[in-house]
Structure 1
Amino acid sequence: MKFLKNKLAVAIIVLSVTFLIFIAQSAKRENKTLLEGGIGAAFNKVQGVVYSINDSINGFFSFIFHFNEVKKENEELRKRNAELEEKALMYDSVKSENDRLTKNLNFIKRNSDYDYVMCQIVNVSGNSILDGYVIDKGTKDGVIKGRVVATSEGLVGQVTTTYETWSIVQNISNENIGVGAMIQSTGEKGIIRGYKDSSKNPLAKMFYVPIESEIKVGDVIVTSGDGYKYPKGVRIGEVIDIEEDRARVMKNAVIKPYVDLNRLEEVFIILPKDRSAVDYIGEEIK
């Protein structure tokens, strides 16, 4: 019994001492924690800078180690971009060609009473377009001197000289060309002849318009269809200026052709389906 009492007393003493030691250590630990907190905060800032520098160094060496891969990817992207640009150009070219063929087909359908010979312009016959164009078709292809030359945009001029494999075309800005024309809005007629302004721009002028005509700037001029040579209703150009000739009691109209005469590449020659009106050597029967 005495032994148990002594053992209980020892346990109580040990627990009491342990509790006192824990309290003392806790007090010291609070003071130490404040000191450690200050040092830790400063250390954390330094550590952040070190980590940032370390990340930059790692990134730099990573770029160096992967430079060949990056270079290869850039080359592949440039190659892909070039391929896409080439495809876009091809698409534009095909679309432009398709649009041109569609316009030509629509023109032919609207003027189905005639036959057509498609020609490429290969040169100018003199020093400028006013001297004429050289086309790659001649009498063996059915080209006839004096026949009308046009594009889907409108009238170009007429064939003035023919050979077996090539011909010369003069356009409507040449003063030697005369075309029967009509004001689309009024039905009044006149004659179109070549004309150049002060800047040498290739234009045309419509003569013999009645003085009382209500022709105005912006009016559309088309072929009158007088005679079988020129189909009726082929667009010629737009009125850009009007002059009054009081001495001759008439008006003249300056016309800007719808066809860009400086940028022609392809034209077609309009031929009558009935060849009885022409002989076999390409000259019209007088």
Structure 2
Amino acid sequence: MLRWETHLHQLRDYILLFLLLSFSLILINLNSNPQVRWLHGFSLNLIGNLQNTMHFWGKVRQLENENDELRSRVADLTYKNSLMQEAYLSNIRLRNLLKYKKSSSFKLVTAVVIGQNYHGFSHALLINSGKKQGLEEKLPVLSSDGLVGKIALIGSHYAVVQPLDDVNFRVSAMIQRNRVVGIFTPGKSGKYFLNYVPIQSNVKKGDVVVTSGYSNVFPKGIKIGVVTQVGAAKNKLFKKIEVTPGVQTERVENVFVVLKKAR
């Protein structure tokens, strides 16, 4: 569109220049008295100035068109680079998932997170696997980085996952190093805690927290996160243990669902 407008502007300018040159030739052929010669000089200056102006604005339009084309090429290259970067990162994620699936002792079904929903402190994930893929309610959901949550609702080809950052999520957990047991819960402050651990228990910053297996839902040994802070609760009976989960559920894209039957 811009090129057509440029051609029209150039055509108009050339027509105007042609008319002025024709007028000048007519004056030249009329006679050579002083008045006409003065008119010759005036028309020549006018034509010269006009031609310079046309040349200048023609260059300006040419540069504008070149800039538009360059901006378009930059935008196109930026978009293609973004696609390549996304494909590269997706390839890394899928390789990690495949590696985890091969090394896992669980029977796993892969799924993709296709939607998320927040309502207050409640959070839900929608995945693209359901009953047709062998899924049931309350099956554990995890990623290569650790526990994601559990199946809350099930359909033929889709399922809703209650992730571990949902305010109502609970799981029996333990310190991997010495098997100290507690209950992992999310807090409304955006933090996560291992609750009901006796005050005399040996828990240190950096300890890995895994599922305890004392549940009909979660098998033993699934990584939940790492202890980041240890203190005493207000009642002095239990420790106050803060945990950072291994999975950021709002960013997870690919998951595994653990079937009841192990390999």
TM range (shorter): 0.5 to 0.7
Paired position in structure 2 for 1:234 = 222
* Matched residue type, 1:71: E
* Matched residue type, 1:98: N
Distance, in Å, in 2 between the alignment partners of 1:190 and 1:266 is 29
Q: Of 155, 158, 181, which residue of structure 2 is paired with 1:190? A: 181
Paired position in structure 2 for 1:105 = 98
Deviation of 1:95 after TM superposition, in Å, equals 1.6
Deviation of 1:115 after TM superposition, in Å, equals 1.9
1:90 equivalenced with 2:83 (yes/no):
yes
* Matched residue type, 1:217: K
Q: Which runs of 5+ in 2 are unaligned?
A: 1-51
Distance, in Å, in 2 between the alignment partners of 1:164 and 1:223 is 29
> Is contact 1:117–1:270 with CA below 8 Å preserved after alignment?
no
TM-score, normalisation: structure 1:
0.61
**1:6-25 alignment, distance < 5 Å:** none
Paired position in structure 2 for 1:251 = 239
Paired position in structure 2 for 1:270 = 258
Deviations 1:74-115 (A, max 9, x none): 233222212221121111211221122122222212314322
Distance, in Å, in 1 between the alignment partners of 2:234 and 2:76 is 64
Deviations 1:105-134 (A, max 9, x none): 22212314322231424343x724625334
Deviation of 1:155 after TM superposition, in Å, equals 0.9
* Matched residue type, 1:100: R
Paired position in structure 2 for 1:11 = none
Give the CA RMSD over aligned residues: 3.3
> Is contact 2:175–2:210 with CA below 8 Å preserved after alignment?
yes
Report the secondary structure of 1:187's partner residue: coil
Q: Which runs of 5+ in 1 are unaligned?
A: 1-58, 276-286
> Is contact 1:121–1:267 with CA below 8 Å preserved after alignment?
no
Runs of 4+ in 1 over 6 A off after TM superposition: 59-62
1:139 equivalenced with 2:145 (yes/no):
no
**1:114-193 alignment, distance < 5 Å:** 114-124=107-117, 127-128=119-120, 130=122, 132-174=124-166, 176-184=168-176, 186-193=177-184
> Is contact 2:107–2:258 with CA below 8 Å preserved after alignment?
yes
Aligned residue-pair number: 213
* Matched residue type, 2:185: G
1:79 equivalenced with 2:72 (yes/no):
yes
Deviation of 1:232 after TM superposition, in Å, equals 4.3
Describe the shift of the 1:65–1:151 C-alpha distance in structure 2 as closer, same or farther (beyond 3 A).
same
Larger Rg, first or second structure (1 or 2) = 1
Deviations 1:195-227 (A, max 9, x none): 314xx31x4322343534332233332234556
Describe the shift of the 1:214–1:92 C-alpha distance in structure 2 as closer, same or farther (beyond 3 A).
same
